[in-house]
Amino acid sequence: MTDDEIRKEQEVLEKSKKDAQAFGVIYEKYFDKIFNYIFRQTDDEDVAGDLCSQTFVNALHNINRYEFRGIPFSAWLYKIAGNEINKYYRKRKGTKVFSIEELKVRELIERTTDEEWDEELIEQLIHYMNELPTEMIQVLELRFFEDKDFKEIAFILDMTESGAKMRTYRALDQLRKNFNIKLKYHG
């Protein structure tokens, strides 16, 4: 985000603190991203819709507690969404699901030739990524599929920035070693 975009968003957030109608701009801007983030972790449209709605309700109810601290507002929404997802799984005592899109995996792999994609490799990689510990999947998802920087990832997952970097690079190293492929770094 540019400084001008951040300033404009902060103005909308300040208006939202006094007038809930103003929050509609934020809702429209981030709904799809938050919904898709939740959907990848539930693989259920109805559940994702409910949790997404609850995320925005919680954000609106707590908007007065939000303070800009150098991290985009979207990180605050992702953090609330993550809490809603965790609450959902705690209530149901279920195992988290990560629905990884083939298109996103293709973006992660660096291609060195114009040869056709090896569909079997892509399927194996998706399967292996789903076998990674939740903590590693979360950082990969936020870094590569949600395009978050390490500062935002650290905020969303309640960890240090260096911890977010380390966890990301460890996950990438595991993928690289197991699949002998080049991965793009968004360093």
Measure the CA angle with vertex 42, ends 36 and 43; round to 5°: 75
Assess whether 83 and 119 both reside in one domain. Answer: no
- For the chain, percent of residues with pLDDT exceeding 70: 82
Name the domain boundary from 71, 92, 113: 92
Assess whether 106 and 88 both reside in one domain. Answer: no
| DSSP state letter for 44 | -
| DSSP state letter for 63 | G
- 186 lies in some domain: no
CA distances, 27 to each of 33, 34, 102, 125, 161 (Å): 10, 10, 27, 34, 27
Non-local (6+) Cβ contacts of 137 within 8 A are 98, 129, 130, 171
CA dihedral for 86, 90, 92, 97, sign (positive or negative):
positive
Yes or no: say if 85 and 72 are a contact pair by the CB < 8 Å rule.
no
Q: What is the pLDDT of residue 76?
A: 94
Q: What is the pLDDT of residue 113?
A: 45
**Structure token pair of residue 162:** 């260096």
Confidence of residue 135 (pLDDT cuts 50, 70, 90): confident
* Number of domains within the chain: 2
Domain enclosing residue 166, as ranges: 102-179
Q: What is the pLDDT of residues 63-72, one digit of tens each?
A: 999 888 888 8
Q: What is the pLDDT of residue 182?
A: 54
Assess whether 64 and 134 both reside in one domain. Answer: no
Q: What is the pLDDT of residues 136-168, one digit of tens each?
A: 888 888 988 888 999 999 999 999 999 999 999
Q: What is the pLDDT of residues 17-31, one digit of tens each?
A: 999 899 999 999 999
Name the domain boundary from 92, 116, 133: 92
Name the domain boundary from 68, 92, 116: 92
